[in-house]
Amino acid sequence: MPTNPAAPETEPEPSGTRPTSPSSDVPAVSLPGVPAPAAELARAAAGRAAGALAGPAPVRLGDVVPAPEQVLPDPAGHFTLSADAVLQVSAAGRDVAEQLAGWLRPATGFPLPVADTAEGGPLTLTLSPADAAVPSGAVATAASGPVDHARLGDEGYRLDVTAGGVRITAVTPAGLFRGAQTLRQLLPAPIESPTVTAARWAVPGGTIVDRPRFAYRGAMLDVARHFFPVEDVLRVVDHLARYKLNHLHLHLTDDQGWRIAVDSWPRLAEVGGATEVGGGTGGWYTRDDYRRIVAYAARRHVTVVPEIDLPGHTNAALVAYPELAPGKVAPPPYTGTEVGFSFVDPADERTYAFVADVVGEVAALTPGPWLHLGGDEAFKVPADSYRTFVERAQRLVAATGKTVVGWHQLAPAEHVDGRVLQWWGTNGDDPETADAVRRGARLILSPGNHAYLDMKYAPDTPIGNDWAGLIDVRRAYEWDPATHVRGVPAEAVLGVEAPLWTETVTSRAEIEFMLFPRLPAIAELGWSPRETHDWPRFRSRLAAQGPRWTIAGITFHPSPKIPWPPTTSTQIPTQPTPHTTPTP
Ligand code: TNX
């Protein structure tokens, strides 16, 4: 189980090397467009006086993961949250304000009411039209000089911290939400405490203007090898949202279990869902469970991508419906970890009725635009039958109105509108994938040797696989999605995804142990401008996250490469590792 230590009373001491940000030495500038009514000026004066007595805020404005696009600190302008603070928000941003208040109330003990008004208060969330969101003029960026008329887009935001208050401005509620996550990280680490904690709730002064590098930033959870209850999935969504990831890919079906109820083929879940790796009882999500996950994710501006893995990885479906098997004989249930032996019969029309029914029901339950068809490791299906099958399956998905996503083995199939391939190779080189991109496919990058969160960190990591090598946090961070696959131009890269396969992962604590600290590394590759990419600086910013995870009760791998502050502690899972090695 995750540790849940008592929250420390004060902000932890920084480690020997003070965290730095790419832009922490950029001089402060005054920014146009920030209203200064009398009450705000009075608050600012009071804030400055209190700040002068109390000293600087413990967190620095650039100490955010993922690194923001532009950071302009104003050391004179820090703000301290007080017990009488009110969150002001216009109606469309209300839900984000409620969530922000929900993060801040437990540790502060402040009531933090949310008021429906766009008037400036100490904490204001503003939704503005695109062209008003970022004032023109010299907003300097540490990396690339002045930026004029930057557009915040679908997920960007601007955060202004003055002694008088904090204002988050965005064009969409998603942008406000990303900005609210930044504000959360700018408060001292004890803000993560689930119980009331005495601390000075100071936010460093200045301005952040921020937006993502890639539109698609995701993680995958394999709920098929081991089943995880809804609550665990919701917690994973929270982890994604914290680091501004916006997609949760659920690997819902595999040889060891079928995890989603399908009304037209009820035995898929009832029979196919009753097994998992190692012989446990498995489980599956009812339609309402799945709706709950999707809705919870949507509120956090995370889109669920369901995967029905076809034509291979289907042993659980064949156990439930032997008519789908090539020999029409049910195989025994499978609870091992080999891959590539099972497949649905590509020569039987009944198989296509099954595919149409399943993708139809899953599409109807899924508000997001994507449906993942799998397509990996169908080793027993001859190349031409494989291609015929996936081309038909792609068309069945397109007929539901969803956009097809598939592992890069789908590459040889014909293009369908919008098709997205997910790269999981380890050598960055595959002419078929490059060719599919030339024919119109876009790519999600999940290189097995950098982004696979089921790989061990080090030889002695108690759980995990190692077929793609060991992946410590530095290896997870040191690559560039835009140039990773030969022959695939940056414009064809939709984004990044970090998959967590769960052959060896059996609990919430083990999920977290494999996610942290690598998930924030992948999140930064997806969000931050390439100019901010810098291992020493990332390492320092990441170190400052450790006490937050400790206080929030999040289990993580205490990588020896990271200068964790002394208040960081975690409980490491100790499960032995029964697994075999799949081949890519
Ligand atoms: C390969 S990646 C697989 C999965 C395994 C994983 C283990 C991919 C598309 N297929 O079936 O779980 O390796 O690392």
Q: What is the 3-state secondary structure (H, E, C) of 471-517?
A: CCHHHHHCCCCCCCCCCCCHHHEEEEEEEECCCCCCCHHHHHHHHCC
Q: Write down the mean pLDDT value for the chain.
A: 88
Q: What is the mean pLDDT of residues 540-565?
A: 97
Residue 24 to residues 137, 156, 307, 347, 548, Cα–Cα distance (Å): 20, 20, 42, 62, 21
Among 14-28, 88-102, 495-509, whose mean pLDDT is lowest?
Answer: 14-28
Q: What is the mean pLDDT of residues 21-42?
A: 41
- 563 within ligand 1 shell (Cβ under 6 A): no
Distance 224 CA to ligand 1 centre (A): 12
* Contact call for residues 167 and 89 (beta carbons, < 8 A): no
- 339 within ligand 1 shell (Cβ under 6 A): yes
145: which strand partners?
Answer: 141
Q: How far is CA 341 from the centre of its chain?
A: 31
Virtual torsion, Cα 406, 407, 409, 415, nearest 10 deg: 30
- 331 within ligand 1 shell (Cβ under 6 A): no
Q: By percentage, how much of the chain surpasses pLDDT 70? A: 85
Distance 581 CA to ligand 1 centre (A): 9
The DSSP call for residue 153 is T
Q: Evaluate if residue 42 carries a pLDDT over 80.
A: no
Please identify, by atom number, the ligand 1 atom nearest to the C-alpha of residue 222.
Answer: 12
Return the SS3 of 227: coil
Amino acid type, 106: P
Q: Are strands 206-210 and 157-162 parallel, antiparallel or unpaired?
A: antiparallel
Q: Which residue has the higher pLDDT, 11 or 169?
A: 169
Q: If phi over 0 gives left and psi between -120 and 50 gives alpha, with beta otherwise, what is residue 550?
A: alpha
* Contact call for residues 141 and 22 (beta carbons, < 8 A): no
Q: How confident is the model at residue 167 (pLDDT cuts 50, 70, 90)?
A: very high
Please identify, by atom number, the ligand 1 atom nearest to the C-alpha of residue 584.
Answer: 1
Q: Pick the catalytic residue: 40, 276, 377, 497?
A: 377
Q: Evaluate if residue 163 carries a pLDDT over 90.
A: yes
Q: Evaluate if residue 237 carries a pLDDT over 60.
A: yes
pTM score of the predicted model: 0.89
Q: What is the mean pLDDT of residues 419-431?
A: 97
Sign of CA dihedral 373, 379, 383, 385: negative
Virtual torsion, Cα 270, 276, 281, 284, nearest 10 deg: -40
Q: Are strands 114-116 and 123-127 parallel, antiparallel or unpaired?
A: unpaired
Distance 410 CA to ligand 1 centre (A): 15
Q: Evaluate if residue 33 carries a pLDDT over 50.
A: no
Q: Which residue lies with its CA nearest to atom 13 of ligand 1?
A: 582
Q: What is the mean pLDDT of residues 358-371?
A: 98
Question: Of 71, 125, 119, 82, nearest to 104 (Cα)?
Answer: 82
Please identify, by atom number, the ligand 1 atom nearest to the C-alpha of residue 499.
Answer: 2
- 424 within ligand 1 shell (Cβ under 6 A): yes
Q: What is the mean pLDDT of residues 323-340?
A: 97
Output phi, psi for 568, to 5 deg: -85, 130
What is the rounded radius of gyration, in angstroms, for the C-alpha atoms of the chain?
24
3-class SS shares of the chain: helix, strand, coil, % to 5: 35, 15, 50
Q: Which residue lies with its CA nearest to atom 2 of ligand 1?
A: 424
Please identify, by atom number, the ligand 1 atom nearest to the C-alpha of residue 422.
Answer: 9
- 155 within ligand 1 shell (Cβ under 6 A): no
Question: Of 115, 111, 110, nearest to 89 (Cα)?
Answer: 115
For residue 280, with 0-12 CB atoms within 10 Å meaning exposed, 13-18 middle and 19 or more buried, which class applies? middle
- 23 within ligand 1 shell (Cβ under 6 A): no
CA separation for the pair 475, 497 (Å, rounded): 15
Distance 143 CA to ligand 1 centre (A): 38
The 8 Å CB, 24+ separation contacts for 425-428 are: 425/485, 425/584, 426/468, 426/469, 426/584, 428/484, 428/485, 428/486
CA separation for the pair 175, 53 (Å, rounded): 34
Going along 338-377, which residue ranges are E strands? 370-374
Q: What is the pLDDT of residue 566?
A: 87
Question: Of 352, 416, 341, 413, nearest to 381 (Cα)?
Answer: 341
Q: Are strands 442-445 and 493-500 parallel, antiparallel or unpaired?
A: parallel
Helix (H) or strand (E) holding 404: strand 403-407
Q: Evaluate if residue 539 carries a pLDDT over 80.
A: yes
Q: What is the pLDDT of residue 567?
A: 79
Structure tokens at 328: 């029409």
- 423 within ligand 1 shell (Cβ under 6 A): no
CA separation for the pair 529, 392 (Å, rounded): 39
Q: Evaluate if residue 137 carries a pLDDT over 50.
A: no
Beta sheet of 123-127, edge-to-edge order: 70-73, 206-210, 157-162, 165-170, 123-127, 87-89, 114-116
Structure tokens at 382: 């001859």
Q: What is the pLDDT of residue 426?
A: 98
Structure tokens at 44: 């600012």
371: which strand partners?
Answer: 404
Distance 550 CA to ligand 1 centre (A): 30
Q: What is the pLDDT of residue 122?
A: 84
Q: How confident is the model at residue 15 (pLDDT cuts 50, 70, 90)?
A: very low
Structure tokens at 72: 């302009």
Distance 582 CA to ligand 1 centre (A): 7
CA separation for the pair 481, 214 (Å, rounded): 9
* Contact call for residues 362 and 371 (beta carbons, < 8 A): yes
Q: Evaluate if residue 4 carries a pLDDT over 90.
A: no
Q: What is the pLDDT of residue 43?
A: 59
Catalytic status, residue 503: no
Please identify, by atom number, the ligand 1 atom nearest to the C-alpha of residue 374.
Answer: 9
Structure tokens at 285: 């999500």
